[in-house]
Chains A and B, each alone.
Chain A
């Protein structure tokens, strides 16, 4: 058994750190996935760029990628 809060987090609710400041909370309120930022901040800058490159490679491999680039 787990409590409701834990269950909600399992279902995708972000657990905002209690010491989060106003900018963090404002970003969270606009719908930004703060867990992705938390993850990125655990990486070195080079790792962030490498991960970004993997995302770009994947997105570029999708069938609609050519349409996306044409629309840029």
Chain B
């Protein structure tokens, strides 16, 4: 299934979900040339927001992609109270929704370390470069460390002043 991050972001926003883009797409946002095949967001978990996610994806055949039988996304009050993350496969690609980000904390903490990006198709919040570096350092997996090398170089390049390329937000 093709990954269409723009369409996923737009659907989530149109359904009233407040979220911050994290993960690989955020790495790309800040200028690292690394391909990623899912969209990771952080949002407050709880039934209202989970229902918004469900509404945004309703016609996209969302399933819990890490369950062996690819269980469909069918929320109940009990499930909503138990979920801390969602790892979904949809007809528009993979969407991972996290309630917390390692090294930063819950959605409120992530929100404080986010920046608004204005795109032609809407405004979206992304984790700041410093926040992303913190998260990658905390995650510590090999792929995170590879991204971290890119991000540290970008941060350094931006901080070195006016002769460098156009600054990343």
Contacts and interface: CB of A to CB of B under 8 A. Distances in A.
Contacts of B160: 19, 21
B3 A56 contact: yes
B2, B4, B28, B35 — which one has the most chain A CB atoms within 10 A of its CB?
A: B28
B25 interface: yes
Nearest to A45: B29
A37 B119 contact: no
Contact of A23 (B32, B36, B152, B169): B152
Interface string B67-100: 0000000000000000000000000000000000
Interface residues of A, number: 35
A67 B47 CA distance: 35
A53 B153 contact: no
B150 A27 contact: yes
B35 A27 contact: no
Most chain A CB within a 10 A radius of its CB, from B35, B119, B153, B156? B153
A26 B156 CA distance: 11
Interface of B: 1-6, 25, 28-33, 35-38, 117, 119-120, 126, 149-150, 152-158, 160, 163-169
User: When A and B form their complex, which 3 residue pairs have the shortest distance between CB atoms, in order from nearest?
Assistant: A36-B33, A41-B165, A27-B153
